[in-house]
Amino acid sequence: MALLSLEAVRDGVRTDPSFHLHNLDLVRQAILVLQLDEAAIRAASFLDDRILTPQSMGRWTPIAEVARVQSPPAPERPVHYIFHTGHVGSTLVSRLLDGVDGVLGLREPLPLRVLAAALPDLGAPHDLLGREAWRTLRDIHLAAWGRGYAQTRAVTVKATSSAGACCAPLLEARDASRAVCLSLKPEAYLATLLGGEKSAIDLRGQAQDRMKRLKQRTGARLRPLHALSLGEIAALSWWVETLAHADARRAFADRVLPIDFDDFLDAPAATLAAICAHFRLAAPAGRLEALVNGPIMTRYSKAPEHAYTPDLRRQVLAQSRTQNAEEIRKGLAWIDALGRDAPDLADALSA
């Protein structure tokens, strides 16, 4: 990676969204500022290290220096959020919203993952940050996400699936911000997660953090993670992220819009219109119809070079329901058992 000058970072980070806050190192107390053009930002399915190339230009910059050059903050566009339980169409929705005039989508910015990972430890003896520093870092990134380009009217930030606990703290920071929370009903979610080629790696890779979050959220007795089957780990993922969405809805009511992905696929134009209305985006009905009937709906959103249609998804789910029937059964039983053992969690979801 080529080195950006400190002068370039100082000049660009306050108002130019091409100076992207790419990564956050809590140990070094530094932010990696990466120079990306608008086309690269719009093309990226993941704003993580997969976008780095040998030609990338960036600089690790002290957090205090980034905060200093942001002050006073530049005028901000509204920043809205897409939270999700994983593999429920969030990238598809984000790319469709990119087709609405004036919308800039940021998909899974890496610092949001870092902030989400630090959130459960706030207040604990091993807390590296402290609540005030966490909020400062949140506000630094909010200011960066809200810069936008000349034609940008609003920014949508699509979180990674494990960042659901950040929904409420992000909404708390800006009254103009709103969120959409995408999910699936338990059986469909389990079939989807277990049907993925890398499901075991994805689920086990995030299981420890999710078990920690669930343990903090409930007094229920939980079997140790190593004793859970893959279907039960998928059920754990559903519980944790769905609860985070429910907590945000309870705190912010009309600012959080829950969307079932199957409902979206049944009526994509109407659901996309509801999302635009929720985000207060002016979008002609004809434009939305063109988007949902265009190429975005026929490609795999995370890798648009591959075809993927709603019909193909139904085939994949049917195959998963056959191949993973026993693990789906175990996962549903685990969800039901936790609901019985922790009625406060069940009440939170039903509310």
Residue-wise pLDDT for 21-53, tens only, equals 999 999 999 999 999 999 999 999 999 999 999
pLDDT of residue 164: 95
pLDDT of residue 220: 80
Domain that holds residue 303: 75-102+153-350
Answer whether residue 309 is part of any domain: yes
Answer whether residue 194 is part of any domain: yes
Answer whether residue 341 is part of any domain: yes
Spans in the chain with pLDDT lower than 50: none
pLDDT of residue 24: 98
Q: Report the CATH number at residue 216.
A: 3.40.50
Question: Tens digits of per-residue pLDDT, 268-296?
Answer: 999 999 999 999 999 999 999 999 999 99
pLDDT of residue 276: 98
Answer whether residue 58 is part of any domain: no
- Burial environment of residue 3 by CB neighbours within 10 A (0 to 12, 13 to 18, 19 or more): exposed
Nearest to 192 by CA among 82, 324, 346: 324
Answer whether residue 1 is part of any domain: no
Answer whether residue 4 is part of any domain: no
Answer whether residue 17 is part of any domain: no
pLDDT of residue 351: 58
pLDDT of residue 301: 86
Answer whether residue 202 is part of any domain: yes
Domain count, the chain: 1
pLDDT of residue 166: 97
